[in-house]
Chains A and B, each alone.
Chain A
Amino acid sequence: MDKPLLCVESLVKEIAGQAVISGLNITLNVSDRTAIFAPSGAGKSTLVRILSGLELPTTGSVSIHTDRISTQFQEPRLFPFLTVRQNILLPFQAQGIDGGAVAAEWMREWLEVSNMAGTGDLYPYQLSGGMKQKVSFIRAIIQRPQLLILDEPFQSIDMKTKAKMARHLLAADPEMALLLITHLPAEVNLLAKRVLYFTEPLLAQQNARLIEEPAWFFRDENTLQ
């Protein structure tokens, strides 16, 4: 059997002596789509930074067995002096490779799906918050990663467009493994096959409840109260 794309084992992260992640385990294989559902301040973004190689864990290990990994951060992180088109194609340019016509066509298709056709030449300051989020999302998937990490990807985007984008992603790349960080049940239902559900504001293994049928679990938002 192939190695999992992502394997997080006994991950601990302490900031100023305070644990923000404690003994966390996550395994993601090809085509797995897992959501981490936790309240604000639970260390979700810290986890994203660790998985993206921006921070080291205090103890534990993170193994990633693919080069094709991409992260969409919570903030859009668009380059203000680049147009929408340039921002989306930036991963290619940053790595010194040519995306070519295939990437250009993939971008065009995604701009259309996201109701952003015709905005390619706009700069970030000319976009609304939701539009920036869409650009950030398209940039994260433009290289068709094998492992995609999404941190609150659909903020300020209307439900209808979210659903359209999620459907398009799943149809276009069914093999893509996905780790979705969110606090919105609707987003879990759109993208995830299973959920690590945390009730306490700490990503600790003992606080996690694995839910294999999120669509059923989150059918009623009152469940979360």
Chain B
Amino acid sequence: MTERPDMSVAIGGLKLRNPVIAASGVVGYGVEYADLGVLDCFGAIVVKGTTLAPRAGNPPPRLAETPSGLLNSVGLENPGVDAVIREVIPRIPRTGARIIVNVAGATVDEYCRVAEKLDRVDDVDALEINISCPNVRTGGIQFGTVPETSAALVEAVRKCTGKVLIVKLTPNTGSICEVAKAVEQAGADAVSLINTILGMAIDVQSRRPVLSTVFGGLSGPAVKPIALRMVWQVSNEVTIPVVGMGGISEANDALEFLMAGASAVAVGTALLRNPRAGLEIVRGLEDWLVSEGMDDIRAVCGSAKAVRP
């Protein structure tokens, strides 16, 4: 077979040329990685968590490296939605990757106002509603741990935008499947999971927590088995597409998430270590399909759940 396999997938009404997404917070504003020439590969790029007003973020230290993982407490540092629309989005190189903006806020009203502003920007293809940031004191995760508040928020944002709405879920809840079902009911076009897992590290020399905020969000290969399990569970419970993420570093990881029921995958922390990770995963997925004699990536989605004869 000389023809390349069909890598395109759909997230709600949004068609992506391939299922590999650059996760929020790791391509910054899409500009930095462009210099390294590694942005062209993605199906979509998620612009970092954007709030109504600028946010300074949390005091340093904001990072703690853990075994195969990274704790961060950046705290949604961003220049605010107006600056993102005016200065950031126009600078993102248009490579064929869709542009998704991650939306965060402290109140329902704030989410709505950010969504309204972004709704008017042609270059924005979809919104990812962040109801799961563990690093801010109000909003974010407070919505995402309870099905009812999650649904109320999504319902309100749904009224503010006709763009594809992806809701990013937190693993820091006892009921991620209930939250997923609730936001589906409320009008979400897709869910993405998982956001980071709340964790901490202590510096034994100073006898103090490493992070200024004490707790931070854990990402990287360390969280992958948990993320994979949650993608498996949530994709059993909802009919809307699931974007899977959590520790994906290579094509094999992406395949696991697709097989568990994800329609697309996002790469985050791996890009910090290996800027070419996205490129390698896209190529690796293509090569795998060819080696398996398959011509469509969509056939992989949920394939680990198929009942074997």
Bind each other? no
